[in-house]
Amino acid sequence: MTRITELPTDEVVLPGNRACAGCGIGIGLRAVTKALEGRLVLVNPASCLTVLGGMFPTSSVAVPWVNVAFPSTAAAAAGLAAGLRATGRADEMTVLAMAGDGGTSDIGIQALSGAAERNDDFIYVCYDNEAYMNTGTQRSGLTPRGARTTTTWTGKRENPKDVPRIMEAHGIPYLASTSAVFPTDVYDKVVKARSIEGLRYIHMSTPCPSGWQFDPKDTVTIGQLAVETGLVALYEVEDGAFRLTGRSASLARSGKRKPVADYIRMQGRFKGMAEEDIAAVQAWVDQRWAGYIARHEASAGESTGA
């Protein structure tokens, strides 16, 4: 695993941008673009990432950037990848589609599903800030149960969709779940994805101080707690083999996950959440975690022939 001191020092995410202080997207974007050595064309629908990128003619990210209509991110990326191949330039740069949780789990899912079925040749990163943040925090298919948004002002009642599992069902060659506050985990996964042909899907948690209602200085603490509780798991699935990575792999060994209440109580969006709802989230996380452990051990057994 790459150490933080070993990450490339070249930056395409320039100092100063329009995102809120403490936004997790910038941290994740830096790790992703470092892994691609700045040789990418970014395809992006309306979102906080668009805001971070800046308004024409200025930009805070020094790569070619294609703004596309909300539902068409994966279709546009597929077209760009085909165009690069047709002109013999596919080796020059990676096509990186990067969209929010709303743009992925709700509005863009049909184009993404079609691209996955065709195994189109690009990397898709869903950065997950768990709501439609750019338009003022409306609930998405990835907003967690209990979170207050402007459209769930007594707290969302449903658990979020499991988009990585939906993507896995398409049989794509590589998918991963990661968190922006573990930049080396992001970096290693994008480096691996880069070496694989076809559709590669990476789900990246990006804490949002504004929508989740916590102090911007706590972005890394909140992101780490999401992993410590098992609400966010770091893993990858390569040709069907499931593997927990980094901190999630060590939590699987130690069995010392923190209670989800520690995470929930640090954020204003969960204010007033009933104890039985917190218990329901804990039970949901426990069940999902047990599934991860079973798959991790099964894949490890297969690779050792045990």
Ligand X SMILES: Cc1ncc(C[n+]2csc(CCOP(=O)(O)OP(=O)(O)O)c2C)c(N)n1
What does 285 bind: ligand X, Mg ion, ligand SF4, none (CB cut-off 5 to 8 Å by kind)?
Answer: none
- Cα separation of 284 and 261, whole Å? 13
Binding site for ligand X (CB under 6 A): 46-49, 70, 99-103, 129, 132-135, 140
Which strands make up the sheet holding 200-205, listed edge to edge?
65-68, 40-45, 94-100, 123-128, 200-205, 174-179, 235-238, 241-244
Hey, what are 287's tokens? 């069940």
129 touching Mg ion, by CB under 5 A:
yes
Burial of 53 (0-12, 13-18, 19+ CB in 10 A): buried
226 touching ligand SF4, by CB under 6 A:
no
What does 135 bind: ligand SF4, Mg ion, ligand X, none (CB cut-off 5 to 8 Å by kind)?
Answer: ligand X
25 touching ligand SF4, by CB under 6 A:
yes
Q: What is the CA radius of gyration of the chain?
A: 18
142 touching ligand SF4, by CB under 6 A:
no
Single-letter code of the amino acid located at 10: D
Nearer CB in complex with ligand SF4: 130/185: 130
Minimum distance from residue 6 beta carbon to ligand X (Å): 29
- Cα separation of 188 and 275, whole Å? 38
Residues 53-92 as x/- pattern, contact with Mg ion by CB under 5 A: ----------------------------------------
99 touching ligand SF4, by CB under 6 A:
no
The residues with which 238 forms a beta bridge, in sequence order, are: 174, 241
19 touching ligand SF4, by CB under 6 A:
yes
Q: Which residue, among 139, 135, 142, has the nearest Cα to 155 in the 3D structure?
A: 139
209 touching ligand SF4, by CB under 6 A:
yes
138 touching ligand SF4, by CB under 6 A:
no
101 touching Mg ion, by CB under 5 A:
yes
Nearer CB in complex with ligand X: 77/237: 77
Q: Which residue, among 249, 233, 40, 268, has the nearest Cα to 137 in the 3D structure?
A: 268
3-state secondary structure of 190: helix
Binding residues (CB under 5 A) for Mg ion: these are 100-102, 129, 133
Interface ranges with ligand SF4 (CB under 6 A) = 19-20, 23, 25, 48, 51, 129, 133, 208-211
